[in-house]
Structure 1
């Protein structure tokens, strides 16, 4: 029996496999580079930028709204979120640093889709410097993508998830296509008899347009992988070397980061990045300070400031807050691969599927890094992390 609305065909059930145990997810979040090939993103060569720590207790007694709206102590909320690390920096001072479930500060943690935002920084910076034209079709930079949904799009469409596509003629299903993307990267995730793409480039080549680009928001890994290929062609270097040269080696990082690689040695730019929480909070603080750290401008101030101000009402990049009732005004926007909560504080966020967050709120003088190993399932209520971060920020401001 086929064609039942809302139910994938039996042949697709294998692609719906996911992490059903937080401990299993955590194993992958903290040891991903041991499971597939990876490439180093080099840290700073000098003395790391010091992280000034405040005396403990800044968040003592704080209660935050949980999944059902009830207020919970911070420790219980973190348990619900399967938190591995929580770092809170306020006005340049680390006021809270906590590691759970045996996760250690020096170990890089998988960032999942939060990695998309870091690539967005690189693209926006190159565009600001005149090396990349947002309005140009992707085929100018990557001729091999001619005839694909991504080749027909403009660079700016990729930066705002503005393409509509189907892969290999399949009806588009976001969750299933994410699983197929993982199978491209990790042969262990491929089902018996798999004969699909074995590299990211092969995967992109099967995407065909199902609608005009720049009209509708559709969150899809392929946009980011196509953009990463554009940046490699523009700069003549790998994604790892580019991130190291432009950002990672310039913000006083303590540890190398990494990208996972496909069989061609190409970085998984849309979700294959790992870094320590301490180094990620350094990136967040750099952005909170307008792209500057240690007395030098790392990210152009114009790029850092327009992550939020570049959002336009009525643009397809403005989307509803996931799960928000239709009667509420809660929204998220999306700009240059960053999520914008549209709060009064000019906040923006990099977000990964299992609870990875880099939350920057200039108006609250706040940077939060949250690493987790959440299970993604309708049976497991999502913890309202953004609301928790804002509550932490307003508590510290008070």
Structure 2
């Protein structure tokens, strides 16, 4: 029974598959304000108010507290901001009331406003920049602004960006076989796959992410990473580097179809660490956080032997996430520096095969492709996204010079629940700000 409960919770946390059938009505977020839940209050907290590594995914609303306290639940490694000055995040006119009143027709055919959208997607914190200036910053439902918040799969886009920069610098060959960098995968499903196929998630492996299946591979991945506790008699691998080599080849061929699989990013993280001879935390710190002039250290969650979760484990504050996104919108420039090469941004935003994307079954993202761990919309504005389960979001619209970052704790994990609303909301915001 415990395995089944963990499967339902953990699969919900990690899987970005097609929409849940007959999704129950989402509870009113006002009933679950962080500042009223009283979780982890008192010395010691009352038993029914305790959030642990074993229950933070099992019992909603525990995740509302956990998502900005993850280093208290799991081992972590600091992504240091260094000793340099904090960069200025320029401020424009406060347009919060105007933006929250912005109305649009949702995917359900009903008219709502931007405030309803944020409320309905369980936003914990939201920041919007336009023409390089902050015009909206809000911490919802009692979210403390100083707390780093887990990004879940937005982490993948950081890993993909770093890999693309290493390719630009000649430190990583996208056409090389994965096994050139990680020979430990010689007998795995990644044999014969290239680095680029891993970047685009078109390498075919025998790995599934299926809701509600207690035998799903994603649960095995979660226990290997330490996201979910393993039962005392669990016979599987309990570290990422033990687990990944055991994943077999899929029935198809490498490079044909896009299928979203978190373990591809864990392999990519392994490749990036080998190519750079640096940990992921060091790379983010040295190449991003320090030159960005971040306000606070970030951190990455770890498995039992200190391997970072390359596909899910980054935790950052809202304003620092906005600095990162604004740097990308500005072609890699921020804080008076060229932090990422403009060719890297161009490579990512060019997108990939939209026909290959259709194999993913993500009908709620029509016309998209997936390139180097980023979601490319191919819309008229050239907007692109980084996304994580439970509503984590980076949205960059180059045409309207807009950046939106959102941290969330939606009760349902799948992007199929929130993304249809996000697409409508971002289109309305773009039209309003043109």
Q: TM-score, normalised by structure 1?
A: 0.89
Write the deviation string for residues 43-99 of structure 1: whole angstroms up to 9, x where unpaired.
143221111222323415211344523121222221111110110000001000011
| Equivalent residue number for residue 340 of structure 1 | 376
The ranges of structure 1 where at least 4 consecutive aligned residues each deviate by more than 4 angstroms after the TM superposition are: 9-14, 18-22, 317-321
Cα distance in 2 for partners of 1:186, 1:109 equals: 18
RMSD: 2.3
Contact 1:221 1:270 in 2 (8 A): yes
Shift of 1:239: 0.7
| Equivalent residue number for residue 15 of structure 1 | 7
| Equivalent residue number for residue 179 of structure 1 | 219
> Are 1:205 and 2:245 counterparts?
yes
> Are 1:51 and 2:89 counterparts?
yes
Q: TM-score, normalised by structure 2?
A: 0.82
Following superposition of structure 1 onto structure 2, how do residues 1-398 of structure 1 map, counting pairs within 5 Å? 14-18=6-10, 19=57, 22-57=60-95, 58-166=98-206, 172-175=208-211, 176-186=216-226, 189-210=229-250, 211-314=252-355, 316-317=356-357, 322-324=362-364, 330-376=366-412, 381-382=417-418, 384-397=421-434
Write the deviation string for residues 373-398 of structure 1: whole angstroms up to 9, x where unpaired.
112279x953611321221122122x
Greater shift after overlay, 384-393 or 116-125?
A: 384-393
Cα distance change on mapping 1:148 and 1:363 into 2, 3 Å: same
Greater shift after overlay, 36-45 or 110-119?
A: 36-45
The count of corresponding residues between Structure 1 and Structure 2 is: 379
Write the deviation string for residues 331-382 of structure 1: whole angstroms up to 9, x where unpaired.
211000000112111111110011000111111100000111112279x953
Cα distance change on mapping 1:144 and 1:265 into 2, 3 Å: same
| Equivalent residue number for residue 5 of structure 1 | none
Cα distance in 1 for partners of 2:274, 2:243 equals: 18
Write the deviation string for residues 135-173 of structure 1: whole angstroms up to 9, x where unpaired.
000111111111111243110011001122225xxxx34
Contact 1:114 1:351 in 2 (8 A): yes
Contact 2:5 2:58 in 1 (8 A): no
Gaps spanning 5+ residues in structure 1: where?
Answer: 1-8
Contact 1:258 1:274 in 2 (8 A): yes
Greater shift after overlay, 275-284 or 70-79?
A: 70-79
1 or 2, which has the higher strand percentage?
1
Shift of 1:14: 4.5
Greater shift after overlay, 98-107 or 50-59?
A: 50-59
